[in-house]
Structure 1
Amino acid sequence: MVIRVGYVREHFSSPLLQFAAADDGKTFTLVECPSGTGQLISRLTNDEIDVAIALTDPLISGIAKGSTAYKLVGSYVSTPLNWAVVTGKDSKYQSIPELKGTKLGISRFGSGSQTMAYVMALQQGWPTDTLEFQVNHDIERLVNSVNDGSTSAFMWEWFTTKPWLDSGKVRFIGSVPTPWPSWMIAAHPTRAPSSALKPFLESLSGYVREFDTEEKRQKDDVEFIKEKFGYPEEDIKSWLLTVGYPKDCTEISSDVITATLSTLEKAGFIQAPEGGFSVKNFVNEEVAQLI
């Protein structure tokens, strides 16, 4: 069986891209989802992909809100994601507190850009039930919206957005790191059977471990990212100092799920059922190991 793996073409995906090049379509194919995790979840729901490598918080919040289109099957990045708070080059906004009560740009409802807006509001002490959003689908339209004034700001991963900063098209007025490890792996409960998922995740773990070695970080990782994504070497080296990957992609921390649910509930983004959430409902334990 050849499984369809949805992903976002960013520097985080480097080990996956290396695996895909070696596999050459024998066991899986990649489906690019440039709009991010909201698009990945939509494609899982609509039978356009079988597996998604996506942001932790939207995946967990989607299941918490009742989605049955996927379960968590693995972990991908073990460090937080640093979200830049981005505004227009000539906008009046100079700091995060000034964004209170304004309309924020997001890629999609349920996306990381939306969940992190709730986290930012929680940190700032803003009422989360009054947050207002405008859906702009992708980073290009998000950039346009902060420059035409239809939104005040949007949130996107720091290094992915930095080329827009370097070209003078936007300004950064702050950042908000995720309170959880940033990327996880989810799969449709029936379209991606364990017989296909287990070997995929075991092989991916090997590529992740190799990419994460000190030797590879010094040169090969830098050259790969420079060639694939065109980022300046200085930015790549800075990013590599901040990112970590799991030794085993099939392991999922129950503490991560619990802590993420707690933060999202405090932010008002999700509501716990009577009796609270059960971590086991979030994970396909035929594939992943809860630790």
Structure 2
Amino acid sequence: MATKLLRVGWHREHFLSPLLQLVAADAGKTIELVECPGGTGEMQVKLKNNEIDVCIALTDALIAGLANGQTSYKLCGRYIASPLRWAIITGKDSKYNSVDDIKGTTFGISRQGSGSQVMASVLALEQGWTGEEQPKFKIEGQFVALRNSVNNGDTSVFLWEWFTTKPHVDSGEVRFIGHVNTPWPCWQIASRNGSDDAAVAAFLASLEPYVNKFDSEESRAGPAVDYVTETFGQQRADVVEWLGSVKWESRLAEISENTLSATLHGLEQAGVIKKESDRDVSAFINTNVARIVE
């Protein structure tokens, strides 16, 4: 009888280079990659529909989903320790040239509850926008649709990871008018409730050495730059800049309770989730796989 493959949801981003290196070495023995162009929102849907077993996705969207009542998954590990830089992106010929210009306008988002929506709310909080100044949202779907929406005027801007989007700026398709950083470590790992916990734990154990090697000084000095440049078609200078800003977690099968609580507080402040004084954060964690740490 063939071994059931662990279905891993992912989005085509350079942050997941260690995952791709593991999958190449695994050669289809234990892991099946399931690409999710719609990002974290699509992964959440696929977890609910039993189309994937585990995913590496955005911290804020995963935690917001859990806080807002999603029951199909729990956090089972951590992945990136540093913040994510979200670009504020507008059309190539749009009238918007600064963050102040987009106050009270319609932002494109990929899905309800997605990182693109969460970070728009964080931006509004940071800018002090209230009432009619706050963004309105229009669901557009994946990147191409979002790009088209800012160019045809259906939306003013959308938010997407800076370095993933930069090639589209270099080619003149869209423009950057600013950025906003996440106030929390930006990537976590989640597993579907009902998935094989032993298989998920084995996956994290097998991924960890690839993460640690990719994050090493030796790798950053050349091999990691080469890999991202060749795999994702990024400009070498952009890859070097990105690697200077990102830090992976060294132990994946852990969840920081402090990080989880701080993220929940930030999401409450941004109005993404309701404020609760007695929230049990441990209920968000698959403790059969992950150890809770400070």
Residue-by-residue CA offset, 1:83-106 (whole Å, 9 max, x unaligned): 000111111111112211110001
Mapped partners of 1:276, 1:126: distance in 2: 28
> Which one of 55, 67, 70 corresponds to residue 70 of structure 2?
67
> Which one of 278, 283, 286 corresponds to residue 285 of structure 2?
283
| Deviant stretches of 4+, over 4 Å | none
Residue-by-residue CA offset, 1:128-151 (whole Å, 9 max, x unaligned): 795311111111111111111000
Which consecutive unaligned segments of at least 5 residues does structure 1 have? none
Matched, 1:138 2:148: no
Mapped partners of 1:43, 1:135: distance in 2: 18
Mapped partners of 1:122, 1:272: distance in 2: 15
Mapped partners of 1:52, 1:198: distance in 2: 13
> What fraction of aligned residue pairs are identical, expressed as a percent?
52
Matched, 1:256 2:281: no
Mapped partners of 1:40, 1:127: distance in 2: 31
Aligned-pair CA distance for 1:262? 0.4
- Corresponding residue for residue 193 of structure 2: 189
Structure 2 length normalisation: TM-score?
Answer: 0.96
Contact 1:79 1:180 in 2 (8 A): yes
What is the RMSD of the two structures over their aligned residues, measured on CA atoms? 1.1
> Which one of 111, 116, 128 corresponds to residue 114 of structure 2?
111
- Corresponding residue for residue 163 of structure 1: 167
Matched, 1:4 2:7: yes
Residue-by-residue CA offset, 1:181-213 (whole Å, 9 max, x unaligned): 01000001212x221111110111111001001
> Which one of 245, 253, 264 corresponds to residue 242 of structure 1?
245
Aligned-pair CA distance for 1:276? 2.6
Contact 1:128 1:268 in 2 (8 A): no
Structure 1 length normalisation: TM-score?
Answer: 0.97
Which consecutive unaligned segments of at least 5 residues does structure 2 have? none
Residue-by-residue CA offset, 1:52-100 (whole Å, 9 max, x unaligned): 1100000000000011110000011111000000111111111112211
Aligned-pair CA distance for 1:126? 1.3
Mapped partners of 2:193, 2:72: distance in 1: 7
- Corresponding residue for residue 77 of structure 1: 80
Matched, 1:217 2:197: no
Contact 1:128 1:267 in 2 (8 A): no
